[in-house]
């Protein structure tokens, strides 16, 4: 029987999309490779951890923290140990894990840091050491929110931390060389924001919803990925990922139309659909010469549970392109 090549192509694409969705429940995933093992860190009690030999079959590991950090309990009264949106990096012989503690819907928030010499729990060097608070936002004092951290280095290899959720947008602040504190004199930049009305200070910022910054260097550009609109609402989530780029880490970041991201700009990378109504809080990595887009999506088949999605990221005319919405 003669097979229609167009039908075969469509079936292969549908199979590919199905494989991309990993059958583990995650929120705000980040990933790194240690030797031949991939490690995934995400929001959860004590920070959830998974390991995999192939980015397809994942095994749950012990959380980073057995007990909530004592400094976080003292600083954030509503904090009960559920740690948000970690960020994992390897630098100068150590793994750096930044993480968020917060009260939901408020900018009563802190970013902390833990380090480890190995991610292999069987290694004699495996031990998470907590360094406490790096950045804090205080309601009534700050119009920014200290969550969703991402460590990045500029062209001179100076370290910076970008972070933010809602309020006055995504911030970028220079760190000391030890990566454990803000450098003095302090240098701050706003790299993405959306206009909002500050007559209220609640979470429901409407059209101003933006969070989860992640910066990835490719060629001559720094690419800033952020998530627009709302997560955490199951089937009612309308999360989406947008991007802009800049030749300087500090910005300004421009989208495809030339609009600045600190003035509301951003070009779509992934967008929700009937099967996955909300997709976002992404990270981008290069493993063995291939770039990957990592994010969570709310599964319509399972009442909006957040699932892990990993797919190869292509680049067309200098811009990241995802096959997710084809």
Q: Which residues of 98-116 are buried (b: 16+ CB within 10 A; e: fewer)?
A: bbbbbeeeebbbbbbbbbb
Number of Cβ within 10 Å of residue 244's Cβ equals: 28
78: annotated active-site residue: no
Cis-peptide into 127, omega within 30 deg = no
274 is written with which tokens? 């009937």
Identify the DSSP state of 301.
G
Catalytic residue among 34, 187, 197, 211: 211
Decide if 28 is catalytic: yes
CA–CA gap between residue 102 and residue 80 (Å, rounded): 10
Quote the radius of gyration of the chain (alpha carbons, Å): 19
Kindly compute the dihedral angle of the four CA atoms of residues 270, 230, 46, 172, in this order, to the nearest 10 degrees.
80
Question: Could you give the CA distance from residue 312 to residue 284 in angstroms, rounded to a whole number?
Answer: 10
Catalytic option among 28, 255, 299, 311: 28
Cβ-Cβ contacts under 8 Å for 57 (sequence gap 6 or more):
none
Structure tokens at 277: 């109504």
**Residues tagged active-site:** 28, 211
């Amino acid at each position: 029987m003669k097979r229609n090549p167009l039908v075969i192509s469509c079936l292969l694409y549908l199979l590919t999309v199905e494989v991309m969705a990993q059958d583990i429940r995650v929120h705000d995933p980040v990933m790194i490779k240690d030797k031949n093992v991939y490690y995934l860190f995400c929001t959860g009690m004590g920070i959830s951890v998974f390991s995999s030999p192939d980015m397809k079959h994942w095994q749950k590991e012990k959380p980073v923290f057995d007990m909530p950090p004592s400094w976080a309990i003292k600083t954030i009264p509503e904090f009960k140990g559920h740690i948000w949106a970690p960020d994992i990096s390897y630098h100068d012989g150590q793994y750096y894990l930044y993480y968020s503690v917060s009260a939901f819907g408020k900018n009563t928030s802190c970013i902390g840091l833990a380090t480890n010499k190995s991610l292999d729990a069987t290694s004699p060097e495996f031990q998470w050491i907590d360094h406490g608070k790096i950045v804090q936002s205080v309601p009534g004092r700050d119009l920014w929110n200290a969550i969703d951290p991402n460590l990045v280095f500029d062209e001179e290899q100076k370290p910076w931390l970008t972070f933010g959720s809602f309020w006055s947008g995504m911030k970028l602040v220079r760190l000391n060389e030890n990566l454990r504190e803000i450098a003095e004199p302090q240098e701050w930049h706003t790299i993405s924001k959306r206009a909002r009305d500050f007559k209220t200070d609640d979470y429901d910022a409407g059209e101003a919803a933006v969070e989860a910054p992640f910066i990835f260097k490719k060629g001559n550009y720094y690419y800033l990925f952020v998530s627009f609109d709302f997560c955490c609402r199951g089937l009612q989530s309308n999360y989406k990922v947008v991007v802009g780029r800049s030749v300087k880490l500090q910005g300004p970041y421009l989208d495809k139309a030339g609009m600045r991201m600190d003035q509301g700009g951003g070009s779509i990378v992934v967008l929700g659909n009937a099967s996955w109504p909300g997709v976002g809080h992404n990270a981008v990595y290069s493993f063995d010469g291939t770039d990957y887009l990592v994010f969570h999506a709310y599964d319509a088949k399972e009442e909006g549970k957040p699932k892990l999605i990993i797919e190869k990221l292509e680049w067309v005319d200098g811009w990241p392109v995802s096959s997710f919405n084809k």
